[in-house]
Structure 1
């Protein structure tokens, strides 16, 4: 029996999840010590309550997916609106190197999935579903490619399987990123700027999302202007999604939202010389991030994950180990073995197993304790939200041609 909650109730529950997560992180020592993001802490409690309700009564709570999607688009729009060319240049060589590290990881992730699926007697394409299709790709990519694999390659239940794997990845990505970064920081005796000394750190060059709990002073006029910018991004994303449907340049809607933000921001900056109010974009973006994660975790159907086949559990467990090992031994070393590299590892675990919002939440959990990492907050949102989807689409197509 389904219990459907509408838009308003979904928003209320999401706010409660965030408040519960904040309370738990403040009161439970090990959550703070392992840098578990607040939406993940609160969301898992809500998911466990839903699971208990399902076991006891058979009721399956469900929440407004449209609201979740809307806040996801707001978050990605905020990434684009904060990415003027000056900030992209600031990412510099580090952005290129990190992108190369991530490209290699996608190949590793898909190779592990396909190899284990074959060894366990499964269709190799199921291993691809338990690879970058769902882990790097997330729920949107899982749904899109799941339909392709079902209709064109005969993989039965690919969409359902993909959503389950993506859900697993979203949870695990939020659980392993913080502890891994903390371990790297302590093991290598790294030093970041202390979080309690950042009150005056909100200078013009600070990347968005870096200090989510700091007070931002914004006006009603700035809020209205910013809402108009977000509306422009969403309108652009909707138009381009329909315009490019079925073409070679078809991309997920959130990529168009991010791209629209980049276009609007830089046209306003360099053509009209209009000063975009970054603090308002930051507030809107962090709100979108938090509510998206809260609804995503609130919507977890743990009873579906509990029913995953044994071989698939083996593949996903192996992917978790591979992700942690790759980030800890490859990403960390290639990116410089310093504090910024440790924060980048937290972000890599977030979108390598789940989604870019999880990556940002992981990094926030670390920087709230140890201090700012401008480099990580410049690089991860752009790589995880934009470049990675283009690269992942190519990698998936190559593997399908090889094993389909």
Structure 2
């Protein structure tokens, strides 16, 4: 039996799955502990159900995921709008060092992925999918770049990238805290005195989100829409002119970053609460739809090579953090906290990084304010300035 869902039915189902996924994440300890995203939970559960129906011969489903691409472009636009150069100055030297380490890691992960894929006799593009795409980029980049790789002839690219990103989330959540604790013991790092209460309260107050009303939401939506149009046009023009595939969402992110910094230059202020809301909604919708359409059966022939490739990626990351990053950051308490963060987002995502650092700091009763400023800024936003173009180049180079 063939079941076909139209646009409205598919979108409604995606929203329901997103809601159920977020509910499960909040109420199931394992999912909460490892910061598994709600869209991944709901969408992947549906993909498993589709797999069961297909393998038992009961039914095959066809979905209309037309809204997936616009939601994806909107999400990457919000990432670009968060890339403010002025924020770089607040992090100082440590931010520059950490950001350079993030960029180096993204480059290294693709080199390792392509090398391992070649050695194992599989498509090198899949090495990129299980490299910086899935590990530094997480499920969002996996769902975004997978269709691009498949359009260039790599079957199963999305499934491989999503599987690698899921593995990375779990590994990043499990290994970040132990790595930081080992570094503390190994280098006899002293725990600094507790931060001043007034300073901590001021920092917490600054981090609170602004309330989102109709006006700010509409203004932000208009800005995102205009940037999306310009970004898609840039991507299309660049691809047609050079023959080098530049996904529309990368073009949108570039235009958004330029727009943000021009706005900063002329004192134009963005409403961060509205931007965060649109970012969360667009990510949730496109990622849920991507997971719903996941062809899990494409993973069958690649299970062993993928496990070997990811095992090597984990080893390389841990060595890089312990032997290079921690030392460059000064081998102190802030450095150990940021090491926990890099393991988190270097394998899984920024929520993993924040959870790792929070758990590590709670253990010693001292919050590393520098780490909580630098890691999300570099690991969630600024890393894409180099990582995304590098991923695009690698896919085109080895496809």
- Normalised-by-shorter TM-score class: 0.7 to 0.9
Q: What is the CA–CA distance in structure 1 between the aligned matches of 2:98 and 2:372, rounded to whole Å?
A: 13
Q: 1:2 to 1:167 in 2, by over 3 A?
A: farther
Tell me which moved more, 47-56 or 220-229: 47-56
The alignment status of 1:29 with 2:29, answered yes or no, reads yes
Q: What is the CA–CA distance in structure 2 between the aligned matches of 1:300 and 1:62, rounded to whole Å?
A: 12
Q: What is the CA–CA distance in structure 2 between the aligned matches of 1:232 and 1:15, rounded to whole Å?
A: 25
1:161 corresponds to which of 156, 172, 176: 156
Give the equivalent residue in structure 2 for 1:373: 372
Matches within 5 A, 1:34-113: 34-89=34-89, 90=91, 91-113=95-117
Give the equivalent residue in structure 2 for 1:349: 347
Tell me which moved more, 62-71 or 137-146: 137-146
Instruction: Please say if residues 98 and 325 of structure 2, whose CA atoms lie closer than 8 Å, have aligned partners that are also in contact.
Output: yes
Query: Over residues 62-114 of structure 1, what are the superposed CA-to-partner deviations in whole Å (9 max), with x where a residue is unaligned?
Result: 43333222222122111111112112444423212221232122212211111
1:282 corresponds to which of 276, 287, 290: 276
- Structure 1, unaligned runs of 5 or more: 118-125, 149-157, 207-213, 351-358
Q: 1:184 to 1:286 in 2, by over 3 A?
A: farther
Under a length normalisation based on structure 2, what TM-score does the superposition of the two structures give? Answer: 0.78
Q: 1:343 to 1:11 in 2, by over 3 A?
A: farther
SS at 1:373 equivalent: helix
Give the equivalent residue in structure 1 for 2:139: none
SS at 2:61 equivalent: strand
Task: State the 1:201 CA deviation.
Answer: 4.8
Give the equivalent residue in structure 1 for 2:197: none
The alignment status of 1:128 with 2:124, answered yes or no, reads yes
Query: Over residues 151-188 of structure 1, what are the superposed CA-to-partner deviations in whole Å (9 max), with x where a residue is unaligned?
Result: xxxxxxx4323333233324333333322324435555
SS at 2:154 equivalent: helix
Under a length normalisation based on structure 1, what TM-score does the superposition of the two structures give? Answer: 0.77
Q: What is the CA–CA distance in structure 1 between the aligned matches of 2:63 and 2:234, rounded to whole Å?
A: 27
2:316 corresponds to which of 290, 315, 326: 326
Task: State the 1:134 CA deviation.
Answer: 5.8
Tell me which moved more, 92-101 or 5-14: 5-14
Matches within 5 A, 1:265-280: 265-271=260-266, 273-280=267-274
Matches within 5 A, 1:123-272: 126-133=122-129, 135-137=131-133, 138-148=142-152, 158-185=153-180, 201=203, 216-248=210-242, 250-271=245-266
The count of residues paired between Structure 1 and Structure 2 equals: 360
Give the equivalent residue in structure 1 for 2:331: none
- Structure 2, unaligned runs of 5 or more: 134-141, 195-199, 327-334, 362-370
SS at 1:11 equivalent: helix
Query: Over residues 1-48 of structure 1, what are the superposed CA-to-partner deviations in whole Å (9 max), with x where a residue is unaligned?
Result: 543333333333233323323332333333333343333333332222
Q: What is the CA–CA distance in structure 1 between the aligned matches of 2:3 and 2:273, rounded to whole Å?
A: 39
Q: What is the CA–CA distance in structure 2 between the aligned matches of 1:141 and 1:34, rounded to whole Å?
A: 24
Q: 1:40 to 1:335 in 2, by over 3 A?
A: farther
Task: State the 1:135 CA deviation.
Answer: 4.3
Q: 1:98 to 1:167 in 2, by over 3 A?
A: closer
Task: State the 1:290 CA deviation.
Answer: 2.4
Q: 1:370 to 1:289 in 2, by over 3 A?
A: farther
Q: 1:239 to 1:330 in 2, by over 3 A?
A: same
